[in-house]
Amino acid sequence: MSASSAAPARAAHATDLDRLAIDTIRTLSMDAVEAAKSGHPGTPMALAPVAFTIWKEFLRYDPANPAWPNRDRFVLSCGHASMLLYSLIHLAGIRRGGSADATRDVPAVSLDEIKKFRQLDSVCAGHPEHHMTSGIETTTGPLGQGCGNSVGMAMAAKWLAAHYNCPGHEVFNYDTYVLCSDGDLMEGVAAEAASIAGHLGLSNLCWVYDDNSITIEGETHLAFTENVGQRFEGLGWRVEHVADANDAAALRKALQAFKAEQKKPTLVIVKSVIGYGAPKKAGSHEAHGAPLGPDEIKGAKQAYGWPADASFLVPPEVPEHFAKTFGARGKQAHEAWQKTVADYAKAQAPLARELHDFLDGRLPSGWEAAIPTFPADAKGLASRVSSGKVLQALSAAVPWLLGGSADLAPSTMTLIQAEKSFEPGSYGGRNFHFGIREHGMASACNGLALSGLRPYCATFFVFFDYLKPALRLSALGNLGVIYVLTHDSIGLGEDGPTHQPIEQLASARAVPGLSVFRPGDANEVAETYRAVMRRPDRPAVIVLSRQNLPTLDRTTLGAASGTAKGAYILKDAPNGKPACILIGTGSEVQLCLDAATQLAEAGVHARVVSMPSWDLFAEQDAAYRESVLPAAVTARVACEAACGFGWEKWIGPRGKFIGMTSFGASGPAPALYKHFGITADAVAAAAKSLV
């Protein structure tokens, strides 16, 4: 039977329609995985009744307006079950864009796209990617990340409600629902995020845990025998149990308990059988990670009472059923919200103007004027200190700039002095306390960014590795999370090699779609923030020093505004004709300036280039890059207190690098720089050898 053939003749009343919809989700998932010869059919088959119940009866979402700010969020943290989500998006009739945009008033996921599941030109990627397909709230696949993102979404909803809601005008009150798996709950990031959520009492957050006892290697008892319910109770969550994923009444009761809960997040533990309905592979790990095969699919369809030879069959009653339940409820809720916002503009005019800037994704008028300029100062400031000053100023100008650190706010200078803390029962503050949970912090910040806020998070740069998986998804998903990473080098001194970053800069610079800044003085810090705030769709790493950096005299040196171009001429040779080029970042910019002075005394004319951001410099046109680093000048020395990996792109085959070739050591910063040969003398000597 073809996809246009008649539906199985059993849809006579509501319960039959529900079952028909559930089986349509299952068969679409099976057929798509089989057509792709790749994917995971078992979990979509097992969880179809769970997801359908959430969408049909609880999820508040307008299919015609998928970006409605007060929609409920649905996160498929077990992203390998992506066909479950694609089937739901298709059957629910979710559009690509708002109904006002006729060019995007088309299905977000058409049946043709489902038929191309996991193919290069399909919106139905192997794992859900939110920037690619409407209806997907966040990019998932790396297990546990969707759980972490959902905590940020729930935090955002609480903050938005506390900041904008007022009596008679409830602008924000959405909930976040998550489907997660055994694998999600084994990952540390989910545990960190769950601990944050329990501490904060995020009662608008519900995780539905698919307890199917299967992972890729086999049954979960191989490695996972903990009592998940008891663990979450210990974390401060409400825990509900559903003995059978197919029991809609029991699931409904559990979700109603979540809706009634006012003080805790909720975990619903649902027992399921993976690959439900498949005659041989049901309950086996084979159904988790591979197509079922034609014979198994026929058997499963026969078990559902489905035409065995039909592929990609969508009975017309199913989208109609979604439209009358899920769609109608969402449309009505969205229209009521629009009236609330319109009335809000009359009752709360100043706050309404701010709200409209936020909803439109527009920074408040005049925000750049808040960015300070720092006077020349030979003693200077640690760049972490100047960063803190810029952050204080910007926070006063941008109300939804908020964040915190992994228990290091006093050291990273990220506490907004004029603001309160975001804490249990008091959600209006802008200072977030993530605890010593770098990975959970970064993942939650992705959720905050997905909610329209501009979050920053902070820790020591060496702990970049602890949050890297979430940062990678910031870049993949075009999320403007600001990573404030301090104690950037051996310059932090006595804490020693366990805390001294060496390879982290190279690792950060290797991430596509990520801007990495290592500013050389306070005014480069200020210009870094200006550049970062202008790009809300690009995450940024701002790498900052513990030790003081002289604030350079810009009346005799290049303007710090060159930071926006990634690299610029800080000090040039006479007549702009250098014999060599010295390139520095961060604290080593001053070493390059000192080396240039030494070289000039020896009759060697050097150009000093400050290069705070490789990626921004690479974005400039060829003419600008040539004006800063002329190809004819091959005598180049780069100086950076980190490993030299990647510097050959800028210094060329003849160039020399002065930096780290080993881990650091414990001792005062000046002694360490001398010990490792990162000095102005070394830079000058290298340049002389090249000239």
Q: Give the residue numbers annotated as catalytic, written as ranges.
A: 438
12: exposed, middle or buried (C-beta count within 10 Å: 0-12, 13-18, 19+)? exposed
The structure tokens listed for 280 are: 């041989």
Q: What is the 3-state secondary structure (H, E, C) of 34-61?
A: HHHCCCCCHHHHHHHHHHHHHHHHHCCC
Q: What is the 3-state secondary structure (H, E, C) of 66-94?
A: CCCCCCCEEEECCHHHHHHHHHHHHHHCC
DSSP state of 463: G
The amino acid that residue 520 corresponds to is G
**Cα separation of 32 and 166, whole Å?**
47
Instruction: Name the packing angle between helices 464-476 and 438-450 (round to 10°).
Output: 20
Place of tokens 């069959």: 313
From residue 587, give the alpha-carbon distance in Å to each of 420, 547, 570, 661.
33, 8, 14, 18
Compute the radius of gyration of the chain from its Cα atoms: 28
**Cα separation of 380 and 371, whole Å?**
18
Phi (first) and psi of residue 2, to 5 degrees = -85, 175
Q: Which of 97, 38, 47 is nearest to 74 (CA)?
A: 47
DSSP 131-196: TTSTT--S---STTHHHHHHHHHHHHHHHHHHHH-BTTB------EEEEEEHHHHHSHHHHHHHHH
Cα 110 from chain centre = 27
**Cα separation of 533 and 531, whole Å?**
6
The structure tokens listed for 21 are: 């919809």
Instruction: Name the packing angle between helices 188-200 and 145-164 (round to 10°).
Output: 20
Place of tokens 């004029």: 418
594: exposed, middle or buried (C-beta count within 10 Å: 0-12, 13-18, 19+)? middle
Place of tokens 């109608």: 328
Rounded to 5 degrees, what angle do the CA atoms 220, 280, 20 make? 95
Q: How far apart are the two ends of the chain, measured CA to CA in Å?
A: 78
Count the neighbouring beta carbons within 10 Å of the beta carbon of residue 685: 18
DSSP state of 423: B
Helices (H), 165-293: 182-186, 188-200, 228-234, 248-260, 286-289
**Cα separation of 177 and 266, whole Å?**
10
| Residue 635 · residue 654 · CB < 8 Å | yes
425: exposed, middle or buried (C-beta count within 10 Å: 0-12, 13-18, 19+)? exposed
The structure tokens listed for 645 are: 């990996």
